[in-house]
Chain A
Amino acid sequence: NAGVTQTPKFQVLKTGQSMTLQCAQDMNHEYMSWYRQDPGMGLRLIHYSVGAGITDQGEVPNGYNVSRSTTEDFPLRLLSAAPSQTSVYFCASSYVAGPYNEQFFGPGTRLTVL
């Protein structure tokens, strides 16, 4: 099993550009989520999904879109990048939502918006 994979590992964008961060898992997990990590802020939840076809907003959803067409994939789209979106982005998955299920994190995507 590859676990949770994320691509790309690094990305530099100019303000106003769009891009999609890819996330895939091969563990047949129902719950998937996207976090951003900024210095001194811990991880903040952007969007999450409890299953294919179902998505919901987290703590900081503005400027980001998600979709969940399959169980395996959960892409994160930046429609018009802004410098405030410079961050490290982590995708995570677990069997289902809730505290008894371990979240497995991907290796992260480091994004810089100029």
Chain B
Amino acid sequence: TQLLEQSPQFLSIQEGENLTVYCNSSSVFSSLQWYRQEPGEGPVLLVTVVTGGEVKKLKRLTFQFGDARKDSSLHITAAQPGDTGLYLCAGDNNGNQFYFGTGTSLTVIP
């Protein structure tokens, strides 16, 4: 059962462009995390959001948790080649398990 759907699945943009990645679910999560994964490596945590409507910024990355805690978005301003990677969202069901999204593969072309 895939609880979290991410869109788009693939994204290829030019350096300097802005982009938004979406993470949607019909389930409510107590928190949501965003990870970035590079080829041949494990995911690395970028941010955790826990309050409905919460917005967190990490340099050029802005993360938002939906008011109903069912969805989240990641916005990147002025993308750079170093932003290239697989972006994964993961929701916590207030237990001991995280449910990962389907992933968005981002390529930033110099």
Is chain B's binding surface mostly helix, strand, loop or mixed?
loop
CB pair A108–B40 under 8 Å, yes or no, is yes
Cβ of A45 under 8 Å from chain B: yes
Q: Given A98-B92, A106-B42, A45 and B98 touching (CB < 8 A)?
A: yes
List A contacts of B88 (CB < 8 A): 42-43
Given A99-B31, A99-B92, CB of A41 within 8 Å of CB of B2: yes
**A50 and B40 within 8 A (CB):** no
Decide if B73 is an interface residue (CB 8 Å cutoff).
Answer: no
CB-defined contacts of A74 to chain B, threshold 8 Å: none
Q: Are A41 and B40 in contact (CB under 8 A)?
A: no
Contact of B97 among A4, A42, A58, A102 (CB under 8 A): A58
How many chain A residues touch B (CB < 8 A): the figure is 27
| B50, A99: Cβ atoms closer than 8 Å | yes
A-B contact count (CB 8 A): 64
Question: Could you tell me the distance between the alpha carbons of A48 and B97 in the complex, rounded to whole angstroms?
Answer: 8
Please report the C-alpha to C-alpha distance between residue A40 and residue B99 in the assembled complex, in whole angstroms.
Answer: 14
Query: Which residues does B use to contact A, with CB under 8 Å?
Result: 1-2, 4, 6, 9, 30-31, 33, 40-45, 48, 50, 88, 90, 92, 95-103
A sample of 7 more A-B contacts (CB under 8 A), given A42-B102, A45-B97, A48-B96, is A4-B42, A41-B2, A42-B103, A45-B99, A59-B97, A105-B41, A107-B42
**28 intermolecular pairs with C-beta atoms under 8 Å apart:** A40-B9, A41-B2, A41-B102, A42-B88, A42-B102, A43-B43, A43-B100, A45-B97, A45-B99, A59-B1, A59-B99, A90-B42, A92-B42, A97-B96, A98-B92, A99-B31, A99-B33, A99-B92, A100-B31, A100-B48, A105-B41, A105-B42, A105-B43, A107-B41, A107-B42, A108-B40, A108-B41, A108-B42
